[in-house]
Structure 1
Amino acid sequence: MNFGPTPLEEAEGAILAHSIRLADRALKKGTVLDAAALAALRAEGHAQVIVARLERDEVPEDEAARRVGEAMEAPHVSRTRASTGRVNLIAETGGLLVLDALAIDRLNALDESLTIATLANYSVVQPKEMLATIKVIPFAVPGAALGVAEALLRRQRVLSVHPFRPLKVGLVLTELQGMKESVMTSAIEISTARVEALMGTMLPVERARHEAGATAEALRRLLRQGAEMLLIMGASATIDRRDVGPAAIVRAGGRIEHFGMPVDPGNLICLGEVGGVPALVLPGCARSPKVNGFDWVLQRLFAGVAVTSRDVMGMGVGGLLKEIETRPLPRAKAPASPPPLRAPRRPRQVAGLVMAAGRSSRMAPHNKLLVTDGEGVAMVARVAEKVLASGVRPVLVVTGHDRERVEAALAGKPVIFVHAEDYAEGLSASLKAGLAALPPDTEGVLVALGDMPLVEPAVISRILAGFDPEEGRAIVQPIFRGKHGNPMVWGREFLPEMMQLTGDMGARQLVARHADRLVEVEVPDDGVLRDFDTAEALKSAPGFGRISA
């Protein structure tokens, strides 16, 4: 392309590069200058204009855009008429937009004059929504580059809309004793809304015990009713391929394709199938209407797009969905201006609470918490060291009986002492004293017992990693070979109920009430089960074989 200032005498047939306003009209950029236009320019004192002249092998912008648009047409996709070097591609139906991103990158790399911009891959689109725009950078495309683009587009489809299918969906809700009915009702309502938004219908919901056998039977009943997709919403989060939900899929005659995904929230999803029918164990965050990784999988399945293990592992880029306030909204609900930017979300604030107020009555006259190991370190000090090493902050130590000696054993350690004046009333009194002293920004609290010195920092870190209230993991309890242990993590939402406890009972009695918010974390050793209440038990404690306090 030849470009630059040109005398009017030589400009006929050239393309005007910049709009020029005259007394009675405007000559727009892209106008092909004819004799009348040149006369009008001359009459107003113009001697030259900036123009472009195409080379013999260059294709004018509108023709080039039209040809690329025609080559990109696909079922359920239409195009607009070419104008000013632009053609838009429009969805004719609602569904899922699927792109060949690498091919579009190759098209955009052919020549700087040819550009194609699209919505994000796997976007949910509505009828009449613009999917892509083809724009020729003024004023032409080299013929060779255009020919390569057309050849590439003839070989492969780079853009398609997959309409959502009216699938019948079966949902199994698993139950644990003590679960609130309101929790179950909410889960059904949210799941139904998701399914209906994608043109599906929900079969009558099956409810089953939180056991693999009972859940598998519920899946078989749904299949007999014609389910074309199976969903399992567990009473407890899935933490392994052998957990209740995945095991039920296998028992029902299916298989597991993939467990977990690099999308947050949504990490703990499990994908499988039973007789060719997709079967999913949902992450805890699916109980919330907020966008999560389950939505991404559900949209693809409703659109008839296969979701393999490799597909799931490729969702990491863009998979951080938490705290994204600028996520696109339906146009009717979108704000007129974007919300103000916020600082990135800080890490979760989890405090540590070491319970060290008890009277140690079963080991009287000795205080078990002050028994020292082979290095002369008191048991309660070992517990505090390991809680500190896990990274929780602050760490509060609740004292009661033998207050001065317990504080002396912990001297020099970065802990905060909280004295429970009424510790003699039982464990609940000491727990409430510690909870009342937590900082106001605390999101969760790790409650550790001062007589469990065998819980290593790596185990505590593993327990802490399970804590995510947004994912439905607001209570975390370690488990070793089917037995539940300590320490536990509790979300702030449970503090009011914990403050109502009485007597010598801890917070464990609340677990049954909130089983839907519980996650059990398997740990590698039995340290989470071993406390040392008696002199006999102490003999089996590594390093604490004799009483010296």
Structure 2
Amino acid sequence: MRKVPVHEAVGQPLGHDVTEVSFERGVKHRAFKRGHVIEAADVERLLDLGKKAVFVLEENETEVHEDDAARRIAPLVAGPNVVFDPDPYEGKITFRASCAGVFTVDPERLYALNDLEIPSLPTLPSFHPVVADQPVGAFRIIPLTCEERIVAAAESLLTEPLLAVHPYVVRSAGILVTGTEVFEGRITDGFIPRLAATLAGHGVPVTATDIVPDDRTRIEEAVRRLGGACDILLVTGGTSVDPDDVTVAAMRAAGVTTIMKGMPVQPGNNFTLGRLDGRYVCAVPAATLFFKATALDLLLPRLLAGLEVTREQLVRLGHGGLAQPGAEQHFPDCTFGTGR
């Protein structure tokens, strides 16, 4: 590209998008598109936009233009259920989720890509829940052009897609409430409506519920019965350190293989995660009744998407696992869980 005074650029194709920014009118948008042939009537408008000179296209360009770099890189970045408009806007291509689910990114390759001098790809954090059409990342090179070697280096890193959205696959959930005081009607259960609302927010209906006393045999039987009747089972009550809290022991007796008992997350330290015949079973602590952002809320989206959850991943929840006051007003768009 060649820099030309705006009055001398009439009749020549613009080499880049020109952006209009007006704080007074609250606008920031593309005023002129790359390739637009500048007309005499455009000169005053360009001057109003602060452009006393512009870059125009030349034949036999030796460097890669920002639009062309974005077009080459975008198809390599986008993985399952990630879509994009192939026409860059102001040199940028934005990636969006094509369905509701859980977003993931390969962080090491993302870091390597962003370390190649000038490419820029910011994304959401891995395991962030998303809805259809939500932006999950955006790619551009920072200058108007770059050397071919940089684009080629980026392409060599992207032998596999970088971004993916995993749709929710769980179709039914069960809720088992434990507690003699609830079973006998001495207090009103609050878990079933609270958890049912949370699940409904992800499109998952509750198809089986039960309330049993703090009796290991009764809990064990109910875990087996409900666990075999739904895709995921949430068990509440009896998860603390009191001697008569037998829920987790009963889950193990029912055949639940524990992935981790207790989490480095607050609220929700006493959350326990396991599997029964391939299905996730969760012991949900009382914190869920009082807070809208807990260990359950961090993990539930990826469980509903059928993602494999390991002990190492759960240990890493401690980074960013302390919710700040008022986190429930902004979750998941807050610091809680951002270290995941």
Partner of 2:107: 101
Residue 283 of structure 1, aligned match among 282, 285, 306: 285
User: Shift in Å at residue 219 of structure 1?
Assistant: 0.7
Unaligned regions of 5+ residues in structure 1, if any?
21-26, 335-549
Residue 180 of structure 2, aligned match among 155, 176, 179: 176
Select between 196-205 and 49-58 the one with higher mean Cα deviation: 49-58
Contact 1:30 1:139 in 2 (8 A): no
- Change in 2 beyond 3 A, CA 1:219/1:142: same
Residue 147 of structure 2, aligned match among 132, 142, 148: 142
Q: CA offsets, 1:135-166, max 9 Å, x none?
A: 23231232111112222222x33211111124
Distance (Å, rounded) in 2 between the aligned partners of 1:293 and 1:106:
31
Distance (Å, rounded) in 2 between the aligned partners of 1:314 and 1:205:
32
Matched, 1:297 2:302: no
- Change in 2 beyond 3 A, CA 1:213/1:2: farther
- For 1:264, give the aligned amino acid: Q
Structure (1 or 2) with the larger CA radius of gyration = 1
Alignment of 1:507-526 (within 5 A): none
Residue 218 of structure 2, aligned match among 214, 222, 232: 214
Residue 233 of structure 1, aligned match among 222, 227, 236: 236
- For 2:151, give the aligned amino acid: L
The aligned length equals 316
- Change in 2 beyond 3 A, CA 1:304/1:182: farther
Partner of 2:26: none
Partner of 2:120: 115
Partner of 1:65: 70
- Change in 2 beyond 3 A, CA 1:16/1:284: closer
Contact 2:103 2:163 in 1 (8 A): yes
Q: CA offsets, 1:25-55, max 9 Å, x none?
A: xx967756968569969xx9xxx83648899
Secondary structure of the 2:158 match is helix
Name the structure where helix makes up a greater proportion of residues.
1
Distance (Å, rounded) in 2 between the aligned partners of 1:326 and 1:82:
36
Q: CA offsets, 1:88-142, max 9 Å, x none?
A: 1121111111122222222111122x21122232221111212211123231232
User: Shift in Å at residue 207 of structure 1?
Assistant: 1.7
Alignment of 1:445-460 (within 5 A): none
- Change in 2 beyond 3 A, CA 1:178/1:245: closer
User: Shift in Å at residue 282 of structure 1?
Assistant: 0.9
Select between 91-100 and 243-252 the one with higher mean Cα deviation: 243-252
Partner of 1:274: 276
Contact 1:170 1:204 in 2 (8 A): yes
User: Shift in Å at residue 60 of structure 1?
Assistant: 0.9
- For 2:250, give the aligned amino acid: A
- Change in 2 beyond 3 A, CA 1:327/1:109: farther
User: Shift in Å at residue 5 of structure 1?
Assistant: 7.7
Secondary structure of the 2:258 match is strand
Distance (Å, rounded) in 2 between the aligned partners of 1:79 and 1:124:
19
Alignment of 1:82-101 (within 5 A): 82-101=88-107
Partner of 2:25: none
Identity %: 24
Contact 1:238 1:244 in 2 (8 A): no
- Change in 2 beyond 3 A, CA 1:18/1:194: closer
Contact 1:12 1:38 in 2 (8 A): no
Distance (Å, rounded) in 1 between the aligned partners of 2:240 and 2:42:
78
User: Shift in Å at residue 252 of structure 1?
Assistant: 0.7
Contact 1:3 1:53 in 2 (8 A): no
Secondary structure of the 2:241 match is coil
Distance (Å, rounded) in 2 between the aligned partners of 1:241 and 1:52:
77
Distance (Å, rounded) in 1 between the aligned partners of 2:174 and 2:182:
24
Q: CA offsets, 1:412-432, max 9 Å, x none?
A: xxxxxxxxxxxxxxxxxxxxx
TM-score norm. by structure 2 comes to 0.79
- Change in 2 beyond 3 A, CA 1:183/1:109: farther
- For 1:185, give the aligned amino acid: D
- Change in 2 beyond 3 A, CA 1:91/1:39: closer
Partner of 2:167: 163
- For 2:103, give the aligned amino acid: L
Matched, 1:131 2:136: yes
Residue 158 of structure 2, aligned match among 142, 153, 157: 153
- Change in 2 beyond 3 A, CA 1:249/1:19: closer
Contact 2:270 2:285 in 1 (8 A): yes
Distance (Å, rounded) in 2 between the aligned partners of 1:274 and 1:213:
17
Distance (Å, rounded) in 1 between the aligned partners of 2:19 and 2:83:
31
Contact 2:183 2:211 in 1 (8 A): no
User: Shift in Å at residue 59 of structure 1?
Assistant: 1.1
Contact 1:94 1:126 in 2 (8 A): yes
Distance (Å, rounded) in 1 between the aligned partners of 2:242 and 2:148:
57
Distance (Å, rounded) in 1 between the aligned partners of 2:210 and 2:236:
10
- For 1:211, give the aligned amino acid: D
Q: CA offsets, 1:315-367, max 9 Å, x none?
A: 1222222314585369xxx9xxxxxxxxxxxxxxxxxxxxxxxxxxxxxxxxx
- Change in 2 beyond 3 A, CA 1:4/1:241: farther
- Change in 2 beyond 3 A, CA 1:317/1:223: closer
Partner of 2:196: 192
Unaligned regions of 5+ residues in structure 2, if any?
21-29, 334-340
Partner of 2:308: 306
- Change in 2 beyond 3 A, CA 1:300/1:184: farther
- Change in 2 beyond 3 A, CA 1:14/1:131: closer
User: Shift in Å at residue 256 of structure 1?
Assistant: 1.3
- Change in 2 beyond 3 A, CA 1:218/1:7: same
User: Shift in Å at residue 73 of structure 1?
Assistant: 2.3
